[in-house]
A and B are shown apart, each in its own frame.
Chain A
Amino acid sequence: MLNVKVLGSGCANCKKLEAVVRKVLAAQGLSAEVEKVTDYAEIMKWHILSTPGLVVNDKVVSTGRIPGESELRNWLMP
C-alpha cells in the first residue's frame, strides 16, 4: 500500500501540501495511507532542513515547497 508522510509542525504550508496530496490521490483513484508527522525529533530523522517535507514510500521527494500536481502525480503513481 502506498504510504505518504507529510513532515511539518502544522504550519499553513504543511496543511496545504496535505490537501494537494489528498486531491491528487482522489483524482487518480489511488488509495494511500497519508500520515502527518509533526514531532520535530521524528521529522529530523528524515534529514530535512525545511518544511513541509514529503515522503513517499520511505523516500523524501520534496522539502520546503509545495510541489505542483503534475510532480505529485509522478511520485504517487506506481
Chain B
Amino acid sequence: MSAPAPTSSNPTTTSTTSTSSSSPVEPTRRAGGRPILLLGLVAIGWLALYNVIEPLANWLTYSLFGLEHGSRLGESVAFFLYDVPKIILLLGGMIFVITLIRSFFSPEQTRAFLGGKREGVGNVLAASLGVVTPFCSCSAVPLFIGFVESGIPLGVTFSFLVAAPLVNEIALVMLFGLFGWQIALLYMVSGLVIAVLAGIIIGRLKLERYVEDFVWQIHSGKAALDLTKPAWPQCLNMGWQSVKEIVGKVWLYVIVGIAVGAAIHGYVPQSALADIMGKDAWWSVPAAVGLGVPLYSNAAGVMPVVNALMEKGAALGTVLAFMMAVVGLSLPEMIILRRVLKPQLIGIFIAILAAGITLTGYVFNWLL
C-alpha cells in the first residue's frame, strides 16, 4: 500500500508523539505537544471566565449602571449580561468536546457496524450512532444511498437519518445551559425514542417502492476505503474549527434571542402565558410543532425566548415539542432528501416525525 502520508498512517506513534511533548520526533510532528499545552491553558481560562461572568454581570448592572435590585430594567439587563457570555462559552466549550468525541466515529464505521443487524436492535443502534456520528444534512444523500445499497434495511437507515438532526448538539448545549442537565437528557432520550420508533414504523410499512429508482441501480460495491485517521493535533484543530464555525454562525441569534428573552423575563407578568401555552391548552403542542418546522436556522435564537416563555407559565412538553420541530423537521433537509425519496415517502416521513414529536409534547405535559 503506497500511502501518500506514511508518517500519519500509524495511529499508535501518532498518539504517543502528540501527548509527550518532550520526545524528540521528526520535524513534521514537532508541534504535537504544543496543542496539548494550549488546550490546558484554554480550559483553565474557560473555567475562570465561566465562574466570573455572574458576579461581573451583577456588578455591571447594579454598581456600574446603578440600576436598582429587583427593578424590571435591572432584572432584564442582569439577565442579558449573564446569559449571553454564559451561552456563548457553553456553546464554544461543548461544541469542542463534542467534535473531539465525534472524531472517533465515521459514517463508514457506522455502516459497517450496522450491516447485518436485525430490525429493532438495528434501529436502536442506528439512532444512537446517529447522535455521535459526524453528519451534516448535505451528506444525507450519499449516506442514504450508501446505507441502503449495502443492505441496511430502510427502517434502520431512517432511524439514523431522524436521530442525526433531531438530537442536535446546539439545542442540547442550549438546553443544558438554560434549563439544566435533566431537561437536556430528557430531550436526548425522547429524540432517540422518536428516531427508533419512526424507523421501525417506516420499516414495517414496506416503503421501498417510494425510494427513487436510481438508488437501487447504484452498485458501488463494498470496497473498503483506506483512509488515514486524523492525528491528535488535527482533531484538536478540527474541534477549534467547528467551534469557530458554529459560534460564528449563531452568536447573533443568541444575542437577539437572549435580548428578547430578557425583555420577557423582566416585563411579562408571572404566569401570563399559563392560559395559552400551559398544560391545559391542548392545542398548544400541535401549534408549537407547526410553528417550529419553518424556523430551522434560528434554533439558537429561539431557545432563550422559549426559556423565558417557560418561566412565565408555558408547559415543558410544549416547549420541547417546539424545539424538536425546529431542529428535526427542517425544510432544507427534506429538499435534499427529495433527490432519493419520492414525495410520498417524504410526506410519510414528515407525518410520522411530526406525530412523534407532538405525542412527546403531550406525554411530557401530562407527566410533569
Which residues in A have some Cβ–Cβ distance to B below 8 Å?
A: 8-9, 11-14, 40-41, 43-51, 56, 59-68, 70-71, 74-75
- Shortest CB-to-CB span from B156 to chain A, Å, is 15
In the bound complex, what is the Cα–Cα distance between A63 and B229 (angstroms)?
11
State whether B220 touches A71 (Cβ < 8 A).
no
Question: Most chain-B CB neighbours within 10 Å: which of A13, A50, A59?
Answer: A50
Q: Indicate if the CB atoms of A50 and B227 lie closer than 8 Å.
A: no
CB of B230 within 8 A of CB of A71, answer yes
Asked, given contacts A44-B220, A63-B108, whether A49 binds B234 with beta carbons under 8 Å apart, the answer is no
| Bound complex: CA A66 to CA B224 (Å) | 21
B41 at the interface (CB under 8 A from A): no
B86 at the interface (CB under 8 A from A): no
27 contacts between A and B (CB under 8 A): A14-B138, A41-B218, A44-B142, A44-B145, A44-B220, A46-B220, A47-B222, A47-B223, A48-B225, A49-B107, A49-B139, A49-B143, A50-B107, A50-B135, A50-B143, A51-B138, A51-B142, A56-B4, A61-B227, A61-B228, A62-B227, A63-B107, A63-B227, A68-B237, A70-B234, A74-B7, A74-B8
The reply to whether A44 and B218 contact each other, CB–CB distance below 8 Å, is yes
| Known contacts A47-B220, A51-B138, A64-B134, A40 near B145 by CB under 8 Å | yes
The answer to whether A13 and B143 have CB atoms under 8 Å apart is no
8 A Cβ contacts from B278-304 to A: none
Chain A nearest CB, measured from B10 CB (Å)? 14
Find the B residue at minimum CB distance from A40.
B141
| Interface contact A71-B223, CB-CB below 8 Å | no
Residues of A within 8 A of B106 (CB): 50, 63-64
**How many Å lie between the Cα of A44 and that of B214 in the bound state?**
12
Instruction: Please tell me if the beta carbons of B227 and A40 are within 8 angstroms of each other in the complex.
Output: no
Q: Which residues from chain B sit less than 8 Å from chain A, CB to CB?
A: 4-5, 7-8, 28, 106-108, 111, 134-136, 138-139, 141-143, 145-147, 214, 218, 220-228, 230, 234, 237-238, 241, 339
Tell whether, in the assembled complex, residue A75 and residue B4 are in contact, meaning their CB atoms are under 8 Å apart. yes
Given contacts A8-B138, A61-B228, contact A49 B218 (CB under 8 A): no
Give Cα A23 to B5, complex, Å: 19
Is the CB–CB distance between A75 and B138 below 8 Å?
Answer: no
Q: How far is the CB of B305 from chain A (nearest CB, A)?
A: 27
The interface residues of chain A lying within 8 Å CB-to-CB of B223 are 47
